[in-house]
Structure 1
Amino acid sequence: MSREIILYVATSLDGFIAKENDDLQWLEEAEVEGDAGYSDMYQSIDTIIMGKRTYDWVVEHTETFPYPDKKCYVFSTSLSGKNEHVEFVNEDVVTFSKKLREQEGSKIWMVGGADILDAFMKEQLIDEWIITITPHLLGSGIPLFKNNNPFQELKLINTTRYGQMVQMHYRVKKG
């Protein structure tokens, strides 16, 4: 049995996860009730995967590293080694993640960014989708999905309203 990879992400109604310059200010200002299911999702994982641009944004915009109790891998072409919170990985993200799935542990959260998600989409590596739609039309930016993804059938597990946001929770239908 392999570990599952989940995507927990917020997107504008028109499908953007950030503005062109990685700006997420619009998201931080959104009206939300509670934590939009974050605590429950966070308790279900023990490992985090993210790209270096996402990591840089997290480090720049948080006072303390938000995932100190999880194993965190950051994919980078410029950094290697470890720091107190993360291990930098210079391997192919798909190959590394497939190996990671076979190790003991609980779920893996693919935090971002868009290039890693696209690689995971092409290889159908996401098992669970938790997507929160925010009440914004950005018009342009970094899209949640890029083009030419394979067909996948999903099963709706739940929808939840958090203030002005709506969260959809899907699982990939298995064969």
Structure 2
Amino acid sequence: MRKVVLFIAASLDGFIARENGEIDWLIESEGGEGDNGYKEFYDGISTVIMGNSTYKHVLILSEQFPYADKEVYVFTAEPDKINPPELQYYSGSASKLIDELRTKDQPGDIWLVGGANLAETFLREKLVDELILTYIPVVIGRGIPLFNENTPETSLHLKSVKTYNQFVTLHYEFLNK
């Protein structure tokens, strides 16, 4: 069965972006040798689900859409009127989308790309199978937290710990499924 994976980075103080959504601290922290496990992860997925805010932010950061080689869904309550060919807007239930994606005869996992709101939606419905969280060695003080205060209590099991340069990646599987 295809897994739903939340693959995300956070500052040491638990933020995924500044209050205004900027991730300059993350981009500035990238460096050293290698890609910190990104290519291996990316090669193992076939579908990307992202929130609308994340999608719009990706368009600002990149000249070319970085996930054009994947099946992409923008999960939003308000689909845009323009539907670029590289993605599909989805405004239905998270459970229905995951059920549809898991029944497709397609290899590769499903990556949740987005912030705390997207994570909360999928965690609330117990749809996330794994969390791969990379801590970046920076403290930003204030920002958008990794998890919203309304995110349901969830138990996890640690599968592995990896270090890349100065980053630490924790790989968990969810137990409350």
TM-score exceeds 0.5? yes
Question: Superposed, which structure 2 residues align to 1:61-140 within 5 Å?
Answer: 61-76=61-76, 77-80=78-81, 82-105=83-106, 106-140=108-142
Report the RMSD for the aligned CA atoms in angstroms.
1.9
Aligned to 1:56: 56
**Cα distance change of structure 1 residues 3 and 81 upon mapping to structure 2, 3 Å threshold:** farther
Could you tell me whether the CA contact under 8 Å between 1:132 and 1:168 is conserved in 2? yes
Please give the per-residue CA displacement for 1:44-65, whole angstroms capped at 9, x wherever unaligned: 1100000111011111111111
- The worse-fitting range, judged by mean Cα deviation, of 29-38 and 8-17 is 29-38
Aligned partners of 2:94 and 2:112: how far apart in 1? 11
TM-score normalized with structure 2 length: 0.89
Deviations 1:34-90 (A, max 9, x none): 111111111111000001110111111111111111000012304156312111122
After TM superposition, the score normalised by the length of structure 1 is 0.90
Q: Distance in 1 between matches of 2:51 and 2:148?
A: 16
Change (3 A) 1:21 1:62: same
Identify which of 146, 158, 161 aligns with 1:159. 161
After superposition, the Cα gap between the structure-2 partners of 1:151 and 1:90, relative to the gap in structure 1 and judged at 3 Å, is closer
Match of 1:42 in 2: 42
Distance between the aligned counterparts of 1:81 and 1:97, measured in 2? Answer: 24
* Identity of matched residues, %: 40
Deviations 1:17-50 (A, max 9, x none): 0011110000000044411111111111100000
DSSP-derived class of the 2:162 partner: strand
* Residue equivalent to 2:170: 168
My pick for the range that moved more, 91-100 or 40-49, is 91-100
Structure 1 unaligned spans of 5+: none
Aligned-partner SS, 1:64: coil
Asked if the contact 1:80–1:89 (Cα under 8 Å) also holds between the matched residues in 2, the reply is no
Q: Return 5+ residue gaps in structure 2 as ranges.
A: none
Give the structure 2 partner of residue 7 of structure 1.
Answer: 6
Offset, 1:172: 2.2
Work out whether residues 80 and 88 of structure 1, in 8 Å CA contact, stay in contact via their aligned partners in 2: no
Residue 80 to residue 73, structure 1, CA distance change in 2 (3 Å) = farther
Deviation at 1:162, TM superposition (A): 1.4
- One-letter code of the match for 2:131? W
